[in-house]
Every structure is written in structure tokens, then in C-alpha cells.
Amino acid sequence: MHRFSHVLLPALLALFLLPMIACSPAGATIFADGFESSDGGPPPNILFIVMDDVGIDQMAAFGYGGLTPPPMPNIEAIAEAGVKFRNTWSMPECSPGRAAFFTGRFPLRTDMYQALGPNDLANSQISPFDLTVPKLLKKAGYESAMFGKFHLAGPEHNEAGNATPAVLGWDRFHGWVGGLPGSVDTTAGGVHEAGEWRCGFYPHHLAGACHFSDGACTSLPAPPVLGHDSSGMACMAQGGIFVREQDDCDAPLPDGVTLDFNRENAFYVSPLVIVDNGNVEEVPLSDPRARGYRTTIETDAAIQWINSRPGDAPWMATVSYSAAHTPWQPAPMHLTPQSGPLIAQLLPDSPDFSGNLLDCTNTVHGRIIQNQMTEAMDTEIGRLLLETGLATHDGLGNLVYDPQASNTVIVIVGDNGSLGFAVKAPFNPVLAKGGSYQTGVWVPLIVAGPHVAQPGRSVEHMVNAVDLFQFFGELAGLDAQQESPRTIDSVALLPYLRNPAQASLRTINFTQAGVNIQADNGRNGPCVMSRSATAGGSCTQIPTSKSVCEDNLGVWWGPAYTDASVVDNGGAGYAQCWQVNQAIFAADPLALPVEVLPESSLAIRDDDYKIVHNTTINYDSAADAARQDVSVEFYRVDQATPVPMLEDPAGNNLLDGPLTTEQQTAYDHLTARLDELLASQPDCPGDGNKDGVVDSTDLAEWKRIAGQWGLSSVYDFLVEGSFDGHTDATDGIVILSNYNTTCPASHAVH
């Protein structure tokens, strides 16, 4: 290992700032026409469907769903024609879960530990140097497109901005780079007072005018109540703004009414981005293409692209649905034919059985709304298959899917577990999305297509979200392990499809959550959930902003807080949850503190046992300072139906009593494997592209980025314990200090 003297660093740095010619990476190999998959035939098309916040607890097809599972007849038809993987883990939050799908790497390798937010640096985003699924499949001649939620990199703190889908390999992107829907517009388009309509639309069945951004207007008569959307919903779903007091479009707008077509409105008005072969179009909110129900927009875009594919080239279409993520907002009624009875039960005295009077800020109503959003997604998945020729309808309107009728593999997966408020019994709503317990990481995975032997069966072996990366390569006839220049954590999936008797290919499973890298060791602000005069509630730093906190029915205690329950500190807000408890204690030492949720969490399991590690930063009132608490828990878990064996820190932590010989052996084995896994990605300062060596390529890339961008990038290195969000001379010194270093080898642990 060679080190430069710090005396020479300034001179050497100046030398490398002179014009340099960087070597271009070798072009990707494109296989000739007639490339064959590992099955000996032409490689299949791939339809990859990602559901947002739909954990296995929601899935009747998997034996769960509680008393009121969301209706999913189309997904169930696909499952019956394919294989259900009943023991699949993802990551506890959406961005790292999706990064696992598309890079085959655990968070400890990507540094993406939680949902991406506007303050997260490029160091916690998928790197432009990563081998992603679309880059991998391009080696086999595939075209790739993604529709819907991206949330893998950018647009903030990223040189590529909204072009990140193209930089990461997708030929076509049609959706939302930032990922999350905006907040509900409680003015319903600027027509009403803020806060008047909590679901973002006028909910009653009265006549009025529906105005559109191009100046057009349609008079809407009062619709029937039973089985029909309200006037406001009907107008909003078409991209318009409804004015109830205006029966005639030719009449002037009522006094004080304005039409604001530049307001985001959750699932109905969103900042659409279209990227086509690197060309970026940022669609204004007033554009009709950005207005309408997101699930429908995502499906329409996928149908159009799939149907335009030439017949001689394989394709992969990722439909990354935003549903059923918060903010909760009802879907159009024609997409939710089975949810009406539940709504009628909830509002038995209301003449409006359409669900339009549901309160999107009420957790009880929210469970019904999320069911409706999930059913709407299922309806649109059925339409996606019908309009692309992958399925037909029988005479009763049921989906008929024959996996042998086309050379297309369908993969459906959840990105993480369900949000706590929506969790179905007997799963634990307190130990849900965001943590490494079963309810937070156990997701449905369905694979269907011509490769499946004995369709309709289930696989009980351990599978991880990272395994999909290798599976997509397997379908294309590529060995992902050989093609990837970096360590990937995947194991094969294709053998489970071909051989119903296939033994388990994993000895352990792993999941991980934490905090993303922000400038100067910053954190998302504290969000307090369910606090009242009689309950302390909990505090989390998972929500990425004030609006996301409030969309998840929380109270923001960070900068620019507005809720009266926040202990006032002059508007500065609080940086971390432990400081919330510090403020509560200072205001009233007898007040109930909030439960601070873990800052980081990870878990490892084998076939029978599971270890959970949680690290929490809490308030120590005796020292009036922060205190780090680390807990280790050990459980027996299984996938039994309808009541699986789940974790409960207060009730079945095996470490609370003496372990049997079998349990001690399992605990020691899992602990050793966890230690090995956590040490399997050694640090290598200066290796920005993570190719295993600090060399001239790193210098050339650093020089380009520092000169043209200068802000956050993978060439912004850890200096004196933090990242500063700039790519500058300080980072060049890190490269020179480690020049010609060969990085310690990393390795996978399966």
C-alpha cells in the first residue's frame, strides 16, 4: 500500500487539476440477435410489478389479511398460475428495498438505509457506477422502462437531477423521480379554505362546474349517490377542479373563488417526469398528463410502452406503483367495486355510501382507504395484463391468465412491510414498516410465467429482495455474479421455479435499516405519532420532511413546526427525537415521554430463529444528555397460517430466560454470521466508483465532478467524521492520500 507525504499533497493536487483525459469505460456487450436464455429459447420479456407498503399481512392469497383483507382478485389469479414465495424479506423501508431489487446489494454496501429524502446526499443514493438491473439486461439486448415511483436516486443532491433514471440504465421513465406523492390539497384546487376537505376533493353529490387547465369547462349534473363518485371526485379524476356554486360554465366564478392548477394533490396532481433515452421532460402540474389518479397514469404509460415494443427484442417493464403509500386518498369508485360494503359499515348513518365522506386524517378511515387504494391497484394490474394481451376475461369478468400463452415472466413484490396504522391482525402494528421485525420486512413475492413447473404452489424457503437481481439475470441467460464487478448478495431463484423439490439456497436471511448520509451528520427531523394527554406516543425520524410526517398522521417537531402541542423553542424546532423528550421533561418532569423508535435496526435469521439488533438514541434525564441504547433480541419465528409466530419484545424474547442447547447453538451461529456479514464490506477511502482500487480513474472522475458540479457526489468523502455535501479539493486529497491502494476484498454471506 503506497501513501503520499502530506507535504507533497498540495503540489500533487495542483498537478492533477491540470487538464486530464479520462479513459472511457468499455462499452457494454450487446449480444447478437438470437441470443438464448438459460432455458434454451429466446429470453423472456419481464413484467416487474412493485407494490408500495403492501406487506404479507395484507395478502389473503398468502393466508393472511385479517378479517378485512384488501380485495385483490387479479393478483390472486396470477399467484394461482405461478409460485408464491412465502418467506421473502425485503428491507424495512422503500428506497433500500428497491435498491436491493435493482442492485442485488444490501444497504451496508450501498449506504442507502432509509427512504430517500431531500437532504440525503448522493453517497446514500444508487451510484452511477453501480451495475443495475437495466444495465445488466442490456448485455442481453433488453430494453428497459420504469413507470411510477423511482425513489432510488435524485433529484436532490445528484448531478443528474431528474435524469437519474437514464444514468442508472433505464431507456424510458415515466413517473416521479422523488417518489412520494405530495400532500393532500385540502383547498381542492384553491376553491375552498385550507383544511376544509381532508381528502382533497369536494365530497358531496351536487351539481357544479368542472374546470380544466386549458380553459375548458364541463357542467356536471348531480350524480346519483349509490355507486357513483361525488362531483368533486369525478372532476378531479379527470384532471379538473370542481366549483360547486357554479351550475353553468358560462357564469362567472363565485366571489372569492380561485382556480389553482399549480397545487400538488397527493395521488391526483403530481410533478410528472418523462425521461426518454436521456432526454428529460419535466411536466408542469397544470399539464393534463400530470393530473389524474396516479395508479391509472402508471398503468397507462406501461401499456403504451409495452404495446409499442418491436417483436424481435426482449423488454423489461417495471411498474412501480405508488399505492398504497400515504397520503391516504380514495381511488375512483370504478376501480374499487368490492370496497363499498366496508365503507357502508363504517358510515352506516350516511346517505353517501361511495366513501367520499371518509376522513383521510382518521386512522380508522385510513385502513379502509388503504384497502380501497390496494384494490384499485389490483384492478389496474388486471387492465395492464388485458390491454397488453397477457390475459383475457371470462364471461363473468374474471381475469384469465395463462402463463404459457406468452414468453413473459411476471414478478409481483412488496417493497417493505405495511405501515403500522394499516397492519392486519394478527401482525403487530407497533413493529411494522421501518423496523426489522417480521411485520416490517416480510413481503409477498409472486413469480409466474412459462418457466414455472407445477404452478399454484408455494415455496417456504428463505428468499431476499436482493435475489431478484440475480433472477432477472438468470432469465436473460446471464450470470449476475460474474457480470457484476462488485460483491452482490443475491442467490438464485430460477431453480425454485423449475424444481418443486429444490432445497433451500440460503442458510441465512438479512435486513437492515438506519440513517442515510446527510451533510455534517444531519438527520431527518423528529415526527411524533399518537401523543395525547393520556399516551406518550412515539417519535420517529423516518419521515423525510414536515409534509411527509403530517401525511403519515404525525406531528412535526423539527424546524418550522406549526402544531400547538410542540414545546415551543422559538421556532427553531428539534433535531432529534431524544431532544423531544428533553424538551418535554424540561417543561414538565411528570409528563409522559415519547417512546423513541430505533435509529438503526437489523435482523438475521435461519429457518427457525431470528436475532434483532436495535440502536436507539434516547434522553437520559439524569445526565441531561443523549444516551445510546443497544438491544439484542432473539426469537423463534415461522410462516404458519393464519397465525404465524411473530416477535414480541415484551413477551417472547428468548434472551429473557435460559436458552436450550438448540437455541444457544442457533444464537451463536447467527451471531457469528451477522458479525461476518457486517464486516464483509471494508472501507476504502478514495475509491469513489468502488471498483476495488484507488487509481487514475478516481482522480479523473473526481476532477470532472469537482469542476463541473462541485456538490454532492460519490466523490465526496468522509473527512473528519462527516461528509460536507461538496466535491472539492479536500476530496482530491483523500484520493491522493490513498493512491494506488488496492481495497480490502468484500464478500457475500448467504
DSSP codes of every residue in 59-115: -GGGT--TTSPPP-HHHHHHHHTEEEEEEEE--SSHHHHHHHHHH---HHHH---S-
Instruction: Name the average pLDDT for the chain.
Output: 92
C-alpha cell at 165: 433514471
Best CA proximity match to 305, nearest among 470, 148, 151 = 148
Using the 8-state DSSP alphabet, how is residue 547 labeled? Answer: H
| Residues 386-390, mean pLDDT to the nearest whole number | 97
Res 441: pLDDT: 98
The answer to whether the CB of 254 falls within 8 A of the CB of 246 is yes
In this prediction the pTM is: 0.93
Q: How far is 719 from 265, CA to CA, in rounded Å?
A: 41
Residue 723 confidence (pLDDT) above 50: yes
User: CA gyration radius for the chain?
Assistant: 26
| Confidence band, pLDDT 50/70/90 cuts, at residue 633 | very high
State whether residue 233 is helix, strand or coil.
helix
Dump pLDDT digits (tens) for 589-625. 999 999 999 999 999 999 999 999 999 999 999 999 9
Best CA proximity match to 134, nearest among 599, 574, 469, 538 = 469
Q: How far is 681 from 698, CA to CA, in rounded Å?
A: 19
Res 223: pLDDT: 87
Res 224: pLDDT: 84
| H helix intervals, 484-607 | 494-498, 546-551, 577-587
Res 396: pLDDT: 87
Parallel, antiparallel or unpaired: strands 82-89 and 442-448: antiparallel
Residue 344 confidence (pLDDT) above 70: no
Q: How far is 305 from 568, CA to CA, in rounded Å?
A: 52
Residue 5 burial (10 A CB sphere; 0-12, 13-18, 19+): exposed
The answer to whether the CB of 519 falls within 8 A of the CB of 718 is no
Dump pLDDT digits (tens) for 227-243. 788 999 999 999 999 99
Q: Which long-range contacts (CB under 8 A, 24 or more apart) does 558-564 make?
A: 558/524, 558/525, 558/526, 558/527, 559/525
C-alpha cell at 482: 460474474
Residue 24 confidence (pLDDT) above 70: no
Dump pLDDT digits (tens) for 656-673. 999 999 999 999 999 999
> In sequence order, what are the residues at sequence separation of 6 or more whose Cβ sits closer than 8 angstroms to the Cβ of residue 136?
469, 472, 473, 476, 478, 480, 483, 484
Residue 226 confidence (pLDDT) above 90: no
Question: Scanning the structure block, which residue is given the C-alpha cell 434472551?
Answer: 655
> In sequence order, what are the residues at sequence separation of 6 or more whose Cβ sits closer than 8 angstroms to the Cβ of residue 640?
none
Strands, E, within 136-240: which ranges?
Answer: 143-149, 172-176, 208-211, 217-220
| Confidence band, pLDDT 50/70/90 cuts, at residue 36 | very low
| Residues 524-530, mean pLDDT to the nearest whole number | 94
Strands, E, within 297-417: which ranges?
Answer: 315-320, 392-393, 399-400, 408-414
Using the 8-state DSSP alphabet, how is residue 355 labeled? Answer: S
| Confidence band, pLDDT 50/70/90 cuts, at residue 352 | low
Domain extents in the chain? 9-26+691-737, 50-177+269-325+366-503, 519-596
Dump pLDDT digits (tens) for 482-516. 999 999 999 999 999 999 999 999 999 999 999 99
Backbone angles phi, psi at 494, to 5 degrees: -55, -35
Res 353: pLDDT: 56
CATH, domain 50-177+269-325+366-503, list 3.40.190.10, 3.40.720.10, 3.10.20.30, 3.40.605.10: 3.40.720.10
The sign of the dihedral angle between the CA atoms of 713, 718, 724, 730 is negative
Least confident span in 91-105, 318-332, 346-360, 700-714: 346-360
| Residues 400-409, mean pLDDT to the nearest whole number | 96
Residue 346 confidence (pLDDT) above 70: no
The amino acid at residue 162 is N
The answer to whether the CB of 436 falls within 8 A of the CB of 612 is yes
Q: How far is 528 from 506, CA to CA, in rounded Å?
A: 38
Res 271: pLDDT: 95
Res 31: pLDDT: 31
Query: Between the CA of residue 193 and those of 6, 187, 257, what are the distances in Å?
Result: 63, 5, 10
| Residues 669-687, mean pLDDT to the nearest whole number | 96
Res 121: pLDDT: 98
Best CA proximity match to 566, nearest among 525, 625, 611 = 525
Q: How far is 515 from 492, CA to CA, in rounded Å?
A: 29
| Confidence band, pLDDT 50/70/90 cuts, at residue 312 | confident
Q: How far is 740 from 750, CA to CA, in rounded Å?
A: 31
| Confidence band, pLDDT 50/70/90 cuts, at residue 23 | very low
Share of the chain above pLDDT 90, in %: 84
| Confidence band, pLDDT 50/70/90 cuts, at residue 37 | low
The answer to whether the CB of 230 falls within 8 A of the CB of 214 is no
Share of the chain above pLDDT 70, in %: 93
Q: How far is 382 from 377, CA to CA, in rounded Å?
A: 9
